[in-house]
Amino acid sequence: MPQYKPRYINTGGKLLDLKIPRVMGILNITPDSFYKGSRYNTDKEILNAAIQMSEDGADILDIGGYSSRPGAKDISAKEEGDRVLKAVKLVSRELPEAIISIDTFRADIAREAVVECGAHLINDISGGDGDNKMFSIVEKLNVPYILMHMKGDPRTMQNKPVYDDIVADILKWFGERIYKLKSAGLKDIIIDPGFGFGKTIEHNFELLRRLGDFSITGLPVTVGISRKSMIWKTLNISAEDALPGTTALNAIALFNGADILRVHDIKEAVQTVRLISKLR
């Protein structure tokens, strides 16, 4: 039987109700994200995108400055910080009601984004593996933490990833980290199976089919499949043409227990959530 999931997460004193699934908008402050429609670089572009996403119904704005597409090159902490911290501060100042997530695996950037710039959540694609200080920082800040599974790193993760049983293997990986975080007193943990991060297309569809199995953790689940290659490679199209496929798979993810959809296209995701919620 699925375990009870927390109804609320505390985002800087704002309680976000997860009884209804939520939509997280992607704001990439990078020049090389896989989907060019999600790249924002000037202050005007960043702010206009944040405003539009909020008006379209985004519940969370996820701001990142490190490209995690397969094969992406590494950049320094300084370069990532220069890109992302100014953007977090800008959006926080101009949209004070927005709930902001900082998308980083670097503990010092996460800390500064929360303490100095106004971020409310930490979204860590490495699940703590990218920086051994991250769990300590998260525990001290006690902010919601998205714990994502990735096999390897962006430069190597798609080099023939292998699992015995992908869901069982990832659940074991989650279990070790959830125990550590909960033992330290962290209240709001959200898990993300990491679609496309060290997984083949077949792995991704297996994860989607069995997404409900992650309810055994008793934690909210984030799903990020927006315009990813599992869609456009399967359909033999481009990422630019992958919105209908994204909408279809987001609907399946919601049926199978997703609590947060991380997406490029807010309006379509919000409509999908409303329709699926009506059915449920």
Any idea which residues carry the catalytic annotation?
228, 262
Q: Which of 66, 85, 63, 64 is nearest to 74 (CA)?
A: 66
Q: Which of 207, 177, 180, 178 is nearest to 195 (CA)?
A: 207
First-to-final CA distance of the chain: 18
Which DSSP category does 2 fall into?
A: P
Sequence-ordered alpha helix ranges (H) in the chain: 43-56, 77-94, 107-115, 134-141, 166-183, 201-209, 229-235, 243-255, 266-279
Burial class (CB in 10 A: 0-12, 13-18, 19+), 75: middle
Length of the chain measured in residues: 280
Tell me phi and psi for residue 54, to 5 degrees. Answer: -65, -45
Which structure tokens are listed for 217?
């953790």
Q: Which of 279, 105, 77 is nearest to 192 (CA)?
A: 105
